[in-house]
Structure 1
Amino acid sequence: MTLRLVHVNVRAGDDPALGRFWAEALGWGLSGEGTGSTLVSPGFVWPDPAAVCVDFVTVPDPETVKYRVHLDLATTSAAHQAELVARLMDLGATPADVGQGDVPWTVLADPEGNVFCVLVPLDAEPLHL
């Protein structure tokens, strides 16, 4: 039997607020908002073998070390990347410097400081593992 990823869990200080940011950023829906866990998903019937959700869970303690996981968002063109970065910043994302230097992608932080990247389109063939 194959093991599959179903969702990514993100610790949050305010799961409904962070869930709303990411739902709006991704154009996805919300469920469970205000229950201590806000699930953000692309909208599917469970179980969907191709879908992955993001679950924002409120925790009482703030993070004290750098996050070891971050999300990467794909774009379709340089114009799409610029448009997406502007929209995300309008939603409350801020530029982040993680020592990336001069790179073609944009590093941002969500309203709680979780770092993520807005990638440029890759011209290479799809990666098959």
Structure 2
Amino acid sequence: MRGGPKLARMACRITELILDCADPQRMGDFWCEVLGYVELGWDGDDLEIGPPGACFGGPQPTLILSRGTDPKPAKLPLHLDVNPTDRDQDAELERLLAAGARPADVGQTGEESWHVLADPEGNVFCLLRRRVDPVSG
């Protein structure tokens, strides 16, 4: 922030993240596995997933997988970072690869402390090193 840190009054917060995809069910299955989320429901062709017991406006944003057929840009202007909660980074990397993630090259040097991965439809996300506590309701 310019001029140093300031106490900010929160006016908005992220409640949902929307990801256009060709196959909402496949993507929902993948991201539920990655994040420990569950299916919350369908609205037409859109699948909403989130933490078990989540509802709109909960402490963590939900993810809406919206069926779309428009071509995707080569690199999305936004990506997700995830951190392990109950294991180290190497064990979490193995779990994510087994769930369907694959390594992605976005020009990294190989010296980074994170892993760049892609979900089943090629959307890039990063697995960071630091272990964090799971968020509770």
Q: TM-score, normalised by structure 2?
A: 0.78
Match of 1:68 among 77, 87, 91: 77
Aligned length: 121
Partners in 2 of 1:31 and 1:76 — Cα distance? 22
Instruction: Tell me which residue corresponds to 1:125.
Output: none
Task: State the percentage of identical aligned residues.
Answer: 35
- Name the aligned partner's letter for residue 37 of structure 1: D
Q: For structure 1, list consecutive stretches of 5 or more residues without a partner in the other structure.
A: 123-129
**Cα distance in 1 for residues equivalent to 2:122 and 2:54:** 31
Q: Indicate conservation of the 8 Å contact 2:24/2:67, yes or no.
A: yes
Q: Which residue of 1 aligns with 2:29?
A: 20
Tell me the equivalent position of 1:82.
90
- 1:30 partnered with 2:39: yes
1:19-64 CA distances to partner (integer Å, 9 max, x unpaired)?
Answer: 1100011111112358311111012353445221111101022313
Give the secondary-structure state (helix, strand or coil) at the position aligned to 2:65: strand
Q: Which has the larger radius of gyration?
A: 2
Map 1:116-127 onto structure 2 (within 5 A): 116-121=125-130
Does residue 1:53 correspond to 2:62, yes or no? yes
Q: Is 2:99 aligned against 1:91?
A: yes
CA RMSD after TM alignment: 2.1
Counterparts of 2:44 and 2:33, CA distance in 1: 19
SS at match of 1:17: helix
Unaligned runs of 5+ in 2: 1-9, 132-137
- Aligned partner letter, 2:120: P
Tell me, yes or no, if the aligned pair for 1:10 and 1:57 is still in contact at 8 Å: yes
